[in-house]
Amino acid sequence: MLTALRGECPDRLPVTTHHVMPSFLDSHMEGKSNQKFFDIFGLDPIRWIIAYAANESTGDYYDPGHTELGFLEARRVSSDSWRFKVEKLDNKDYDTSRFSIITPKKALSMVLQSDKHTTWVAEHLIKEKSDIDIIARYMTHPKCDVEAVNDAADQYGDSGLVRGHIACFDGFGQPGCWQDFSCLYGSTDLIMASMEDPQWVHAFLEVLRDRKKVYVDSLAGAQYDLIELGGGDASTTVISPDIFDEFVAPYDSVLIASAHEAGQRIAYHTCGGMMPILENIAAMKPDAMETFTPSGMGGDAILSEAKRRIGDKVCMIGGFDQFHFFTGCTEEETREEVRRCFQEAGPGGGYILCPSDHFFEADLKLIEAFADEARKCIY
C-alpha cells in the first residue's frame, strides 16, 4: 500500500476496505475485531487511530462527560466557555439525542439520530447566521495527541496502514471544511447560501479552516501513513464544479499544503460524483484520491478515464462496486469485477483496490473471492 501511495508499482495489487463498520462485525462476524476481519480474508490491513490533545495553556481540557468513545471518535476538547451537554430524547424509531454546546453568549444545539448502522443530523446546529460568530469566538482548537498516535502505531508495527482524519466539528462533523459546514447547516441550505450570501459562507469556511489548520500543524511527528480530508458533500453529485472551485478547493488546499509541511500524506475523499472535478481535486495536490464510486453505487467514476486523466498525479483508491458484487452475485462475477478494476486503474501502479466507501451487508464468500482474486493481480 505504501508503494502504491508513492505512485509506484508494487509486487501485486493492494486490496483493502475503507472502514469495517461495527454493525457488520456484529451481524456477520460474531463481533470479531477489525484486525481479525483483515486476517480472516487476507486483506491488507488498515488501522484507524484518532486522538486529540487538549491545550491546557489556553484553558482547554477534555470533556469530563465524554468517556465512552464512538466509532472513529476522539475525546472531545472543552473549556469553561465551550461545554457540552447530551440529552436523550424520546423516539420510538431511532436512538435520538440533543447535543448542546454551552457558551457564555448562548447555547447551540443539534439533534442526532442513529440506527444500528450509522448516525445522522435531524436538526442542524447553525440556525441563525449570527451563530457562526458564537462558534468563532468560543470554540476550542484540538490538536493531535502525537504520543497516543505513536504508541498505537508502534503496537501495530508494520502489519498494516495507519490512517486518521483531520479534526471534525464537535458532536457531528467531517474532515473537509465545506463538508463540516454542510453537517452543521445542511447541504441544501449551504448551497443556497453560497449563492445568496457568499460572504457569510466564506467567513465561516475561514473559521473552520483555521481550526482544522491548528490540528494539521500539530501532526508533525505523528506516525500516520495516510490522513483523510474531504467528504461527499463536496462531490459533483451534490455541488457544481463552480461551487467546488470557489468554496471547497481554496480552503481544503491550504490544509493539504500544511499537512505536507507536517510530513503527512493526504487522501481526498469524495464519495459521489468525481469525474467533472478530477483535475480540480488533483490540483490541490493530495497524495491519494478516493472513492471512485461507480454509477451502480450512485457515483460516476469511470476508472479507465480517471487513470488516464489523473493517474500520474495521485494514488487512486476505490472503484469497486460493493453493493452489486458483495451481495446477490456469483463468486466469478465478483472476481470479474476485481479484474476489471485492475485492468482499468492498475497499470503502472499507484492504485489500491477498495470498495467505494462503506458496506453494511455482504456475503462472506464474495469478500473471500474479492480478496483472493486481487492477490492474483500481479505486476
pLDDT at 337: 97
Phi-psi category of 349—alpha, beta or left, where left has phi over 0 and alpha has psi -120 to 50?
A: left
Evaluate whether residue 64 is within a structural domain: no
Q: Which of 205, 213, 240 is nearest to 144 (CA)?
A: 213
Instruction: Please state, in angstroms and rounded to a whole number, the distance separating the CA atoms of residues 332 and 377.
Output: 15
Question: Does some domain include residue 223?
Answer: yes
Q: What is the pLDDT of residue 129?
A: 97
Query: Is pLDDT above 90 for 158?
Result: no
Share of the chain above pLDDT 90, in %: 95
Domain membership of residue 91 (yes or no) is no
51 lies in some domain: yes
Cβ partners under 8 Å of residue 328, min gap 6: none
- Which pLDDT tens digit goes with each residue over 271-321? 999 999 999 999 999 999 999 999 999 999 999 999 999 999 999 999 999
Express each pLDDT in 216-235 by its tens digit. 999 999 999 999 999 999 99
- Quick check: is 72 in a domain? no
Domain that holds residue 181: 2-59+118-375
In the structure, what pLDDT confidence band is assigned to residue 87 with cuts at 50, 70 and 90? very high
- 78 is a domain residue: no
> How many domains is the chain built from?
1
Which pLDDT tens digit goes with each residue over 168-188? 999 999 999 999 999 999 999
CATH assignment of the domain containing 34: 3.20.20.210
DSSP helix, strand, coil percent of the chain (3-state; round to 5): 40, 20, 40
Distances (CA, A) of 109 to 106, 172, 200, 263, 318: 10, 11, 20, 36, 35
How does residue 254 score in pLDDT terms, banded at 50, 70 and 90?
very high
- Cis previous bond, 291, omega within 30: yes
Q: What was the pLDDT predicted at 71?
A: 85
Whether residue 326 contacts residue 363, with contact meaning beta carbons closer than 8 Å, is answered with: yes
Is it the case that residue 58 has pLDDT exceeding 90? Answer: no
Residue pair 122/171 in contact (Cβ under 8 Å)? The answer is no
